[in-house]
Structure 1
Amino acid sequence: MKILLLLCLALSGLLFGKNLLSVPSIQKEVEKVPTATICYDSPDHEAYFPNGMKVFTKKIENYITLKSLKVKKDEKILTAMLNFIIERDGSIIEIQVLGSNVSFNKSVEKATKYINSKWIPAKQNGYFVRSKVQIPLSMNLK
Protein backbone atom coordinates (compact mmCIF):
# COMPACT_ATOMS: atom_id res chain seq x y z
CA MET A 1 0.00 0.00 0.00
CA LYS A 2 2.83 2.44 0.90
CA ILE A 3 4.72 1.53 -2.27
CA LEU A 4 1.61 2.24 -4.37
CA LEU A 5 1.21 5.64 -2.69
CA LEU A 6 4.88 6.54 -3.31
CA LEU A 7 4.61 5.42 -6.93
CA CYS A 8 1.50 7.60 -7.46
CA LEU A 9 3.23 10.63 -5.92
CA ALA A 10 6.31 10.16 -8.10
CA LEU A 11 4.27 9.79 -11.29
CA SER A 12 2.06 12.78 -10.50
CA GLY A 13 5.19 14.90 -9.95
CA LEU A 14 6.52 13.95 -13.36
CA LEU A 15 3.20 14.55 -15.09
CA PHE A 16 2.48 17.90 -13.48
CA GLY A 17 6.11 19.03 -13.72
CA LYS A 18 6.06 18.68 -17.52
CA ASN A 19 2.84 20.71 -17.79
CA LEU A 20 4.33 23.56 -15.79
CA LEU A 21 7.37 23.74 -18.03
CA SER A 22 5.33 23.90 -21.21
CA VAL A 23 3.23 26.94 -20.20
CA PRO A 24 4.13 29.88 -22.50
CA SER A 25 5.54 32.98 -20.85
CA ILE A 26 3.19 35.97 -20.79
CA GLN A 27 6.09 38.44 -20.53
CA LYS A 28 7.28 37.65 -24.05
CA GLU A 29 3.94 38.80 -25.44
CA VAL A 30 4.05 42.05 -23.44
CA GLU A 31 7.52 42.90 -24.75
CA LYS A 32 6.21 42.93 -28.35
CA VAL A 33 3.83 45.88 -27.71
CA PRO A 34 4.97 48.79 -29.94
CA THR A 35 4.36 51.56 -27.37
CA ALA A 36 6.46 51.69 -24.22
CA THR A 37 5.01 52.58 -20.84
CA ILE A 38 8.10 54.56 -19.91
CA CYS A 39 10.79 55.17 -22.47
CA TYR A 40 14.05 53.90 -20.96
CA ASP A 41 15.76 53.59 -24.34
CA SER A 42 16.84 56.52 -26.43
CA PRO A 43 13.67 57.83 -28.07
CA ASP A 44 13.57 59.35 -31.55
CA HIS A 45 13.16 62.70 -29.78
CA GLU A 46 13.07 63.56 -26.08
CA ALA A 47 10.11 65.26 -24.43
CA TYR A 48 10.52 69.03 -24.48
CA PHE A 49 8.72 72.13 -23.26
CA PRO A 50 7.31 74.12 -26.22
CA ASN A 51 9.11 77.38 -25.42
CA GLY A 52 12.27 75.79 -24.01
CA MET A 53 13.60 74.65 -20.67
CA LYS A 54 14.50 78.20 -19.59
CA VAL A 55 10.85 79.23 -19.89
CA PHE A 56 9.75 76.18 -17.88
CA THR A 57 12.22 76.85 -15.06
CA LYS A 58 11.29 80.55 -15.09
CA LYS A 59 7.63 79.55 -14.57
CA ILE A 60 8.66 77.42 -11.58
CA GLU A 61 10.69 80.34 -10.22
CA ASN A 62 7.71 82.69 -10.56
CA TYR A 63 5.44 80.37 -8.54
CA ILE A 64 7.88 79.93 -5.65
CA THR A 65 7.30 82.42 -2.85
CA LEU A 66 10.15 83.28 -0.53
CA LYS A 67 7.70 83.47 2.40
CA SER A 68 7.11 79.72 2.17
CA LEU A 69 10.82 78.86 2.41
CA LYS A 70 12.39 77.96 5.73
CA VAL A 71 16.11 78.49 5.39
CA LYS A 72 18.95 78.01 7.87
CA LYS A 73 21.26 80.99 8.42
CA ASP A 74 24.22 79.32 6.71
CA GLU A 75 22.23 78.22 3.62
CA LYS A 76 23.08 80.48 0.68
CA ILE A 77 22.17 78.18 -2.20
CA LEU A 78 19.21 75.79 -2.29
CA THR A 79 19.44 72.87 -4.69
CA ALA A 80 17.00 70.15 -5.67
CA MET A 81 16.41 67.56 -8.37
CA LEU A 82 12.96 67.77 -9.95
CA ASN A 83 11.75 64.42 -11.35
CA PHE A 84 8.48 63.82 -13.18
CA ILE A 85 6.93 61.83 -15.99
CA ILE A 86 5.59 63.31 -19.22
CA GLU A 87 2.48 61.43 -20.32
CA ARG A 88 1.69 60.66 -23.95
CA ASP A 89 -0.64 63.67 -24.01
CA GLY A 90 2.10 66.02 -22.70
CA SER A 91 0.79 66.34 -19.14
CA ILE A 92 3.04 66.08 -16.09
CA ILE A 93 2.48 63.31 -13.53
CA GLU A 94 4.32 61.74 -10.59
CA ILE A 95 6.19 64.85 -9.51
CA GLN A 96 9.01 64.19 -7.05
CA VAL A 97 11.56 66.66 -5.72
CA LEU A 98 14.73 65.56 -3.95
CA GLY A 99 16.92 68.00 -2.08
CA SER A 100 18.27 68.88 1.35
CA ASN A 101 15.76 71.66 2.14
CA VAL A 102 12.25 70.26 2.68
CA SER A 103 10.43 73.59 2.31
CA PHE A 104 12.21 74.29 -0.99
CA ASN A 105 11.30 70.79 -2.22
CA LYS A 106 7.63 71.35 -1.37
CA SER A 107 7.63 74.77 -3.03
CA VAL A 108 9.14 73.37 -6.25
CA GLU A 109 6.61 70.52 -6.29
CA LYS A 110 3.71 72.92 -5.74
CA ALA A 111 5.01 75.31 -8.41
CA THR A 112 5.35 72.47 -10.92
CA LYS A 113 1.73 71.44 -10.30
CA TYR A 114 0.57 75.01 -11.07
CA ILE A 115 2.07 74.98 -14.57
CA ASN A 116 -0.79 74.16 -16.95
CA SER A 117 1.22 74.22 -20.18
CA LYS A 118 1.71 70.81 -21.74
CA TRP A 119 4.99 69.35 -22.94
CA ILE A 120 5.65 67.82 -26.34
CA PRO A 121 5.96 64.12 -25.40
CA ALA A 122 8.85 61.88 -26.41
CA LYS A 123 8.44 59.82 -29.55
CA GLN A 124 9.83 56.35 -30.24
CA ASN A 125 9.24 54.31 -33.39
CA GLY A 126 6.56 56.78 -34.47
CA TYR A 127 4.56 56.53 -31.21
CA PHE A 128 4.26 59.04 -28.40
CA VAL A 129 5.62 57.46 -25.23
CA ARG A 130 5.78 58.31 -21.56
CA SER A 131 9.20 59.49 -20.48
CA LYS A 132 11.01 60.54 -17.34
CA VAL A 133 12.43 64.02 -16.99
CA GLN A 134 15.02 65.20 -14.45
CA ILE A 135 15.80 68.87 -13.97
CA PRO A 136 18.43 70.11 -11.52
CA LEU A 137 17.33 73.34 -9.85
CA SER A 138 19.15 75.82 -7.66
CA MET A 139 18.20 79.09 -6.00
CA ASN A 140 20.79 81.58 -4.82
CA LEU A 141 19.74 83.42 -1.66
CA LYS A 142 21.90 86.53 -1.45
Structure 2
Amino acid sequence: MNLSFAQQNDEFKSAKDYFDYQRFMLNSEFKRKFDNEKDITQKIAIKKDFSEFMVKLDSIQNTAFIGTLIKVKNREDLEKINVKNLPELRLNPKKEDLNKEAQYPGGFETLRKQIADLFYTDSVLPDQKLLKTNVVFVVEKDGSIANVQAQGENFTFNRQAEIAMYLLPEKFSPAIINGTPVRYRFRLPLSMSFD
Protein backbone atom coordinates (compact mmCIF):
# COMPACT_ATOMS: atom_id res chain seq x y z
CA MET A 1 0.00 0.00 0.00
CA ASN A 2 2.88 2.39 0.71
CA LEU A 3 4.12 2.18 -2.87
CA SER A 4 0.76 3.20 -4.29
CA PHE A 5 0.93 6.47 -2.35
CA ALA A 6 4.63 7.16 -2.90
CA GLN A 7 4.06 10.26 -5.04
CA GLN A 8 1.02 11.85 -3.48
CA ASN A 9 1.67 14.69 -1.11
CA ASP A 10 0.08 14.48 2.33
CA GLU A 11 -2.89 16.73 1.53
CA PHE A 12 -3.92 14.76 -1.56
CA LYS A 13 -3.28 11.44 0.17
CA SER A 14 -5.51 12.44 3.07
CA ALA A 15 -8.34 13.56 0.78
CA LYS A 16 -8.04 10.43 -1.37
CA ASP A 17 -7.99 8.14 1.69
CA TYR A 18 -11.12 9.81 3.06
CA PHE A 19 -13.08 9.37 -0.16
CA ASP A 20 -11.79 5.84 -0.72
CA TYR A 21 -13.15 4.97 2.74
CA GLN A 22 -16.51 6.62 1.97
CA ARG A 23 -16.68 4.74 -1.33
CA PHE A 24 -15.89 1.46 0.48
CA MET A 25 -18.60 2.10 3.11
CA LEU A 26 -21.22 3.01 0.51
CA ASN A 27 -20.28 0.00 -1.58
CA SER A 28 -20.62 -2.31 1.44
CA GLU A 29 -23.96 -0.84 2.51
CA PHE A 30 -25.50 -0.98 -0.96
CA LYS A 31 -24.21 -4.53 -1.48
CA ARG A 32 -25.75 -5.62 1.82
CA LYS A 33 -29.06 -3.97 0.91
CA PHE A 34 -28.96 -5.46 -2.61
CA ASP A 35 -28.16 -8.98 -1.35
CA ASN A 36 -30.98 -8.87 1.23
CA GLU A 37 -33.60 -7.69 -1.28
CA LYS A 38 -35.73 -10.40 -2.92
CA ASP A 39 -37.79 -8.26 -5.31
CA ILE A 40 -36.07 -7.80 -8.69
CA THR A 41 -37.65 -4.36 -9.21
CA GLN A 42 -36.25 -3.19 -5.87
CA LYS A 43 -32.84 -4.65 -6.77
CA ILE A 44 -32.83 -2.59 -9.97
CA ALA A 45 -33.80 0.52 -7.96
CA ILE A 46 -30.99 -0.15 -5.47
CA LYS A 47 -28.50 -0.51 -8.31
CA LYS A 48 -29.68 2.77 -9.82
CA ASP A 49 -29.44 4.55 -6.46
CA PHE A 50 -25.92 3.17 -6.00
CA SER A 51 -24.84 4.53 -9.40
CA GLU A 52 -26.28 7.96 -8.59
CA PHE A 53 -24.55 8.01 -5.19
CA MET A 54 -21.21 7.16 -6.79
CA VAL A 55 -21.54 9.93 -9.39
CA LYS A 56 -22.32 12.41 -6.62
CA LEU A 57 -19.43 11.12 -4.51
CA ASP A 58 -17.06 11.54 -7.48
CA SER A 59 -18.22 15.14 -7.88
CA ILE A 60 -17.79 15.88 -4.17
CA GLN A 61 -14.35 14.25 -4.22
CA ASN A 62 -13.36 16.44 -7.15
CA THR A 63 -14.47 19.54 -5.24
CA ALA A 64 -12.29 18.42 -2.31
CA PHE A 65 -9.35 17.86 -4.69
CA ILE A 66 -9.78 21.39 -6.08
CA GLY A 67 -9.66 22.76 -2.53
CA THR A 68 -6.57 20.65 -1.86
CA LEU A 69 -4.96 21.91 -5.06
CA ILE A 70 -5.51 25.51 -3.98
CA LYS A 71 -3.97 24.76 -0.57
CA VAL A 72 -0.94 23.01 -2.10
CA LYS A 73 -0.38 25.76 -4.69
CA ASN A 74 -0.62 28.45 -2.00
CA ARG A 75 1.94 26.64 0.15
CA GLU A 76 4.27 26.20 -2.85
CA ASP A 77 3.90 29.87 -3.75
CA LEU A 78 4.81 30.85 -0.19
CA GLU A 79 7.87 28.58 -0.33
CA LYS A 80 9.01 30.36 -3.51
CA ILE A 81 9.18 33.61 -1.56
CA ASN A 82 12.11 32.18 0.37
CA VAL A 83 14.98 33.85 -1.49
CA LYS A 84 17.42 30.96 -1.17
CA ASN A 85 15.09 28.70 -3.20
CA LEU A 86 14.56 31.12 -6.09
CA PRO A 87 17.86 30.62 -7.98
CA GLU A 88 17.57 26.82 -7.72
CA LEU A 89 14.02 26.86 -9.11
CA ARG A 90 15.00 29.03 -12.06
CA LEU A 91 17.99 26.98 -13.08
CA ASN A 92 17.57 23.79 -15.04
CA PRO A 93 20.67 21.71 -15.67
CA LYS A 94 21.82 21.59 -19.26
CA LYS A 95 21.10 18.26 -20.92
CA GLU A 96 24.78 17.73 -21.63
CA ASP A 97 25.54 18.05 -17.87
CA LEU A 98 23.03 15.36 -16.93
CA ASN A 99 24.15 11.79 -16.36
CA LYS A 100 20.50 10.78 -16.24
CA GLU A 101 17.26 12.67 -16.90
CA ALA A 102 14.30 12.43 -14.54
CA GLN A 103 12.09 9.48 -15.55
CA TYR A 104 8.72 8.11 -14.54
CA PRO A 105 8.54 4.35 -13.80
CA GLY A 106 7.32 2.66 -16.98
CA GLY A 107 8.07 5.72 -19.12
CA PHE A 108 5.90 8.39 -20.73
CA GLU A 109 3.15 6.02 -21.88
CA THR A 110 2.62 4.76 -18.33
CA LEU A 111 2.64 8.35 -17.07
CA ARG A 112 0.07 9.46 -19.64
CA LYS A 113 -2.16 6.44 -18.95
CA GLN A 114 -2.10 7.04 -15.20
CA ILE A 115 -2.93 10.72 -15.69
CA ALA A 116 -5.86 9.76 -17.93
CA ASP A 117 -7.08 7.27 -15.31
CA LEU A 118 -6.90 9.90 -12.55
CA PHE A 119 -8.49 12.64 -14.67
CA TYR A 120 -12.04 13.62 -13.63
CA THR A 121 -13.52 14.25 -17.06
CA ASP A 122 -17.04 14.97 -15.78
CA SER A 123 -15.87 18.40 -14.58
CA VAL A 124 -14.75 19.44 -18.06
CA LEU A 125 -17.45 20.78 -20.32
CA PRO A 126 -15.51 20.95 -23.55
CA ASP A 127 -16.57 23.29 -26.28
CA GLN A 128 -14.00 21.51 -28.44
CA LYS A 129 -13.48 17.84 -29.15
CA LEU A 130 -9.74 18.02 -28.42
CA LEU A 131 -8.31 19.81 -25.38
CA LYS A 132 -4.60 20.41 -24.84
CA THR A 133 -2.41 21.69 -22.05
CA ASN A 134 1.27 21.86 -21.22
CA VAL A 135 2.07 20.77 -17.68
CA VAL A 136 5.29 22.15 -16.24
CA PHE A 137 6.51 20.84 -12.89
CA VAL A 138 9.64 20.29 -10.83
CA VAL A 139 10.93 16.79 -10.14
CA GLU A 140 12.53 17.13 -6.71
CA LYS A 141 15.74 15.40 -5.61
CA ASP A 142 13.69 12.65 -3.95
CA GLY A 143 11.62 12.07 -7.13
CA SER A 144 8.46 13.75 -5.86
CA ILE A 145 6.90 16.54 -7.90
CA ALA A 146 6.10 20.12 -6.95
CA ASN A 147 5.10 23.43 -8.49
CA VAL A 148 2.75 21.87 -11.04
CA GLN A 149 1.43 24.46 -13.53
CA ALA A 150 -0.81 23.54 -16.46
CA GLN A 151 -1.17 26.06 -19.27
CA GLY A 152 -3.80 25.66 -21.93
CA GLU A 153 -6.96 27.28 -23.25
CA ASN A 154 -9.45 25.45 -20.97
CA PHE A 155 -9.10 26.47 -17.30
CA THR A 156 -10.98 23.45 -15.93
CA PHE A 157 -8.97 21.04 -18.06
CA ASN A 158 -5.78 22.65 -16.76
CA ARG A 159 -6.86 22.28 -13.10
CA GLN A 160 -7.83 18.64 -13.61
CA ALA A 161 -4.43 17.95 -15.20
CA GLU A 162 -2.72 19.49 -12.16
CA ILE A 163 -4.81 17.41 -9.75
CA ALA A 164 -4.03 14.23 -11.70
CA MET A 165 -0.30 15.02 -11.55
CA TYR A 166 -0.39 15.40 -7.76
CA LEU A 167 -2.29 12.11 -7.48
CA LEU A 168 0.24 10.04 -9.45
CA PRO A 169 0.92 6.82 -7.55
CA GLU A 170 4.67 6.64 -8.21
CA LYS A 171 7.65 8.94 -7.80
CA PHE A 172 9.97 9.86 -10.64
CA SER A 173 13.56 8.77 -10.56
CA PRO A 174 15.35 12.12 -10.20
CA ALA A 175 17.75 13.67 -12.65
CA ILE A 176 21.39 12.91 -11.82
CA ILE A 177 24.54 15.01 -12.24
CA ASN A 178 27.86 13.46 -11.14
CA GLY A 179 26.00 10.83 -9.11
CA THR A 180 23.97 13.42 -7.20
CA PRO A 181 20.19 13.87 -7.56
CA VAL A 182 19.20 17.37 -8.69
CA ARG A 183 15.94 19.27 -9.06
CA TYR A 184 14.74 19.27 -12.64
CA ARG A 185 11.99 21.23 -14.38
CA PHE A 186 9.88 18.99 -16.57
CA ARG A 187 7.40 19.81 -19.36
CA LEU A 188 4.67 17.36 -20.36
CA PRO A 189 2.20 18.13 -23.17
CA LEU A 190 -1.21 16.52 -22.61
CA SER A 191 -4.26 16.25 -24.81
CA MET A 192 -7.62 14.51 -24.50
CA SER A 193 -10.34 13.83 -27.00
CA PHE A 194 -13.97 14.25 -25.96
CA ASP A 195 -16.76 12.72 -28.00
TM value normalised by structure 2: 0.51
What is the one-letter code of the residue matched to 1:134?
A: R
Q: Name the structure with the higher helix share.
A: 2
Give the one of 110, 113, 138 matched to 2:166.
113
Task: Calculate the aligned-residue CA RMSD, in Å.
Answer: 1.4
Does 1 or 2 have the higher relative contact order (CA < 8 Å, sep 6+)? 1
Larger-Rg structure: 1
In structure 1, the residue matched to 2:121 is 66
What pairs with 1:1-142 in structure 2 (closer than 5 Å)? 38-42=91-95, 43-72=98-127, 75-142=128-195
Q: Secondary structure at the match of 1:93?
A: strand
Q: Is the 8 A contact 1:39 1:129 kept in 2?
A: no
TM value normalised by structure 1: 0.70
Q: Name the structure with the higher strand share.
A: 1
Count residues in correspondence.
Answer: 105
Q: Secondary structure at the match of 2:162?
A: helix
Runs in 1 of length 4+ with deviation above 6 angstroms? none
Q: Give structure 1 stretches of 5+ with no counterpart.
A: 1-35
In structure 2, the residue matched to 1:28 is none
Query: C-alpha distance in 2, partners of 1:140/1:70?
Result: 12
Query: C-alpha distance in 1, partners of 2:185/2:122?
Result: 30
Q: Give structure 2 stretches of 5+ with no counterpart.
A: 1-87
